[in-house]
A and B are shown apart, each in its own frame.
Chain A
């Protein structure tokens, strides 16, 4: 039986994890991810979730424990953001290099210094080369659904997945969420069947030394498999939508009122909700505006971006991150996708450190396309 509940987004994610039945959860608390891991700890304590819950001493240990457990054949989960993600940075590469399908929720938060606990996407963006798939969510329903899809995608591609939700702005929001039936989720996510695992009866070595004559071939494989994951993400999104009747574009991008649009916004995460509102307001005034919401940042959907921008005159790319001295990451990647286009592109850096992004700011952005390459809102 499906049930509709008013839940905090963090709780919705915890609910999805409970239904995905991980064998091991290893986590270290950091604002604003705490409600996810606390809810999971309660589930384990109350017997609602039969998982080994390891209270580790740091985020570096959290991901290391997940690497070990996943290698031993368990489905695992962890969550972090900001400083915690930065601390576990070296293990991100170990997890992806060892092809371990770990799923991690990241409640996007600004990086120190100066200290800031509020939302921006600089933490996950800074790890875009770590070999993890990165999926960004706009709503609690999407966060719940994407968590389930993440395990299917990760385990099919043997690539770990980050499920990204804006810290506080989304993680702490209370919304109606449709929680699907336990058995239905179970039949969608299925049991984890590792190709290889650590087993004392059949010993193996994960992540041994790889000399110059072999290392590069493993990296090439990771690159090719990440490209192939574009189709896996689309397929899983399609399968999910047929079973649960909820859909997120083609799984890689989602568009809003783009068919006849002359100008559009490109953005990731919860700001897309505000953008939908602004688009409706502008359309009431006769302006033809649309939106391209990027859900999959890694792998980057180059073909989908190029296709959706074909009829546009201009694109305002909203970035909740900045590569100092250059531009926002989403802008840099979109600009490369559109190298063969004559479209006007501008980058609007917004919302860093949790600064509110207002409709007025977004209207200013759409009116200022082409004036400057990079503008801070």
Chain B
């Protein structure tokens, strides 16, 4: 019987939505204070704080720009994605 259920968890990871980006967030490590506000705001769970600094997972970042808008240190700027 065919039932629409996915029985293996985590299959959504196979789709690297980073390919959808047109703008890319770039962080300035010196300005970054490691406050973690960007981590909380990222709607795609694509930012971590590693070694007290921002670390962006470009496989899943869709380039929405919310992190750049919310960063209190203005450490992130949006750059046009290369083709």
Contact = CB atoms under 8 A, between A and B. Distances in A.
Interface of A: 97-99, 158, 195-196, 202-208, 210, 217-218, 221, 225
Contact of B5 (A205, A217, A221, A225): A205
A158 B6 contact: no
A195 B7 CA distance: 11
A97 B3 CA distance: 8
Interface residues of B, number: 10
Given A196-B7, A218-B3, 20 more contacts: A97-B4, A98-B4, A98-B5, A99-B4, A158-B3, A196-B3, A196-B5, A203-B9, A203-B10, A204-B5, A205-B5, A205-B6, A206-B5, A207-B4, A207-B5, A208-B6, A217-B2, A218-B2, A221-B1, A221-B3
Contact of A225 (B1, B6, B10, B11): B1
Interface string B1-33: 111111101110000000000000000000000
A208 B4 contact: yes
12 contacts: A98-B5, A158-B1, A196-B3, A203-B9, A204-B7, A204-B9, A205-B6, A206-B5, A207-B4, A208-B5, A218-B3, A221-B2
Nearest to B2: A221
* Nearest 9 pairs of A and B residues by beta carbon: A203-B9, A205-B6, A221-B2, A99-B3, A218-B4, A196-B5, A208-B6, A204-B7, A206-B5
B46 to A, nearest CB: 21
A220 to B, nearest CB: 8
B6 to A, nearest CB: 4
A210 B4 CA distance: 8
A316 B73 CA distance: 80
